[in-house]
Amino acid sequence: MRLISLIRNILIIFLISTNQSLSSPLEKLFDKKWSLGGLPCNFKGGVYNRYSPEIAGGSDFFSNGKFNNSDQLQWFRYFALDENTIKYERRIYADNNRLMVQMLGSPTALVGKTITKITFINDTKIELETTVHRVDLKLSNKNNLTKFNAKKSQSTSTLCDKKE
């Protein structure tokens, strides 16, 4: 599983580097700590997100200073839409979740998808417009088809390590 993850991450880095140069918004976003929900980045030992093509799923989340991320199979990609805007897509599959594999019938069944439009307000503040699509277990069970519910949200995030 780790080998597959490593190969997938290498492929994604290759796709990003060959299909589009690392333009300004991607360089500003990647490998930095970004605040969550208006909380200070150092709240209870650390609460923040990081975005990077080298992270499984393209981003990770820290709370109470501890890493929190899914160990399920994930796919992601980043697109620079213009000099200030990025589209980030992430998909999570049933793999490594026995209950989801049993309910949906396959470790490669899609259980969730997130599409986030990230817009730089300035070099230290971003606006996030996120749509989360999650599998609806009630509808999926009844019809043997996978159905999703979508929920949209908007938020802002600030760079944790900004130099003022």
Q: Which structure tokens are listed for 144?
A: 């043997």
Q: Is the pLDDT of residue 164 over 50?
A: no
The tally of domains found in the chain comes to 1
Q: Is residue 67 classed as helix, strand or coil in its secondary structure?
A: strand
Closest CA to 120 of 78, 156, 89, 84: 84
Query: What distance in Å separates the CA atoms of residue 139 and residue 147, rounded to the nearest whole number?
Result: 6
Q: Is the pLDDT of residue 17 over 50?
A: no
Mean pLDDT throughout 85-110? 90
Which pLDDT does position 30 carry in this prediction? Answer: 95
Domain-located, residue 164:
no
Mean pLDDT throughout 94-101? 88
Domain-located, residue 43:
yes
Mean pLDDT throughout 145-163? 87
Which pLDDT does position 51 carry in this prediction? Answer: 95
> How sure is the predictor about 106, in pLDDT bands with cuts at 50, 70 and 90?
confident
Domain-located, residue 53:
yes
- Could you read off the pLDDT of 32-85 as tens digits, one per residue? 999 998 889 999 989 999 999 998 899 998 888 888 877 788 999 999 999 999
Which pLDDT does position 103 carry in this prediction? Answer: 82
Mean pLDDT throughout 118-129? 96
What pTM value is reported for the model?
0.79
- For residue 49, the enclosing domain spans 2-158
Name residue 153's beta-bridge partners.
130
Mean pLDDT throughout 122-130? 96
Domain-located, residue 163:
no
Mean pLDDT throughout 102-117? 91
Question: Burial letters for 146-163: b for 16+ Cβ neighbours within 10 Å, e otherwise?
Answer: beeeeeeeeeebbbbeee
